Amino acid sequence: MNQRISRPSFSPTAGGLNAMAPANPNNAPPGYYMLFILNGSGVPSIAKIIQIGSAAGPSPTPSPSSTPTPTPTPTPTPTPTPTPTATPVAPSNLTGTAVSASSINLSWTDNSGDETGFTIQRSTDGTSFGDVATVGANVTTFSDTGLVTSTTYSYRVSAFNSGGSSAYSNIATIALIVPAAPSNLAAKVEKNGQVTLSWKDNANNETGFQAERSTDGSVFTVLATTAANTTKYKDTKAQKGQTYYYRVAAKNNVGLSSYSNVATTP
């Protein structure tokens, strides 16, 4: 067994020493060594077997780990608050016309360009309104049917879309009422035998008058129709010396009024 004495160097550590192999490996080839620590008198006091490997070069100082640059968290784009849809402009110029004893036609002006449709409301007292129907966009007429004669109806219309309903239009009031009967009918025979009729107009909702004639006072036939507000008519087909019976009624789209008194020629 080869033996050699080598003097390693030491470096203090916490709680002890580190033995370091000689820098020249020829002075301490790799292997196992008996380590003796001598006291000040040169007497060994500690013996320990240690292993010495090949002298290692200084350990490279590790490069400090680079702190990764954090990837910025993208700021979420806020969801835009949708702009509310504006309500349509209210319709205007609502009018109504009685077209029969049980129906009324309505018309109005469409003042908006973004409506989805129109709501028609009806009332029989002018105060409490209820929905009657809805119609589509750009529609400006409606026919209300199945109504009751001798009843007054009030209407109003509003436009609507996804944003809500507009204000209401003006109120249109239509009476399903026949005109008041004319009165004071008189028949005047002219020299040529023609008969001039005259009467009093008691209505404000007539579209005209219907004059009727009979030769027996029982069976009357329509002689003529006249315009509204007319209070005279001349029977140019009357025969001189013939007795005639006349009566007159006011009329409108709802119907005929009651008849006037009967006027008779001599």
Three-class SS string for the chain? CCCCCCCCEEEEECCEEEEECCCCCCCCCCEEEEEEEECCCCCEEEEEEEEECCCCCCCCCCCCCCCCCCCCCCCCCCCCCCCCCCCCCCCEEEEEEEEECCEEEEEEECCCCCCCEEEEEEECCCCCCEEEEEEECCCCEEEECCCCCCEEEEEEEEEEECCEECCCCCCEEEEECCCCCCEEEEEEECCCCCEEEEEECCCCCCCEEEEEEECCCCCCEEEEEEECCCCEEEECCCCCCCCCEEEEEEECCCCEEEECCCEECC
The count of domains in the chain is: 2
What is the per-residue pLDDT for 30? Answer: 72
Q: Which of 176, 192, 218 represents a domain boundary (last residue)? A: 176
Q: Is the model's pLDDT at 21 over the cut of 80?
A: no
Q: Is the model's pLDDT at 146 over the cut of 70?
A: yes
CATH number for the domain spanning 172: value is 2.60.40.10
Share of the chain above pLDDT 70, in %: 80
Q: Does residue 138 lie in a domain region?
A: yes
What is the per-residue pLDDT for 80? Answer: 79
Averaged pLDDT score across all residues of the chain: 88
Find the domain containing 256 and state its range: 183-265
What is the per-residue pLDDT for 196? Answer: 98
Q: Which of 152, 176, 200 represents a domain boundary (last residue)? A: 176
More confident residue, 130 or 3: 130
What is the per-residue pLDDT for 145? Answer: 98
The pTM assigned to this predicted structure is 0.62
What is the per-residue pLDDT for 74? Answer: 75
What is the per-residue pLDDT for 194? Answer: 96
More confident residue, 9 or 232: 232
Residues 190 and 171 in one domain: no
What is the per-residue pLDDT for 217? Answer: 95
Residue 68 pLDDT grade (very low, low, confident, very high; cuts 50, 70, 90): low
What is the per-residue pLDDT for 59? Answer: 46
Residues 190 and 132 in one domain: no
Q: Which of 176, 208, 223 represents a domain boundary (last residue)? A: 176
Give the tens place of pLDDT for each residue, 240-265.
Answer: 999 999 999 999 999 999 999 999 99
Residue 75 pLDDT grade (very low, low, confident, very high; cuts 50, 70, 90): confident
Q: Does residue 160 lie in a domain region?
A: yes
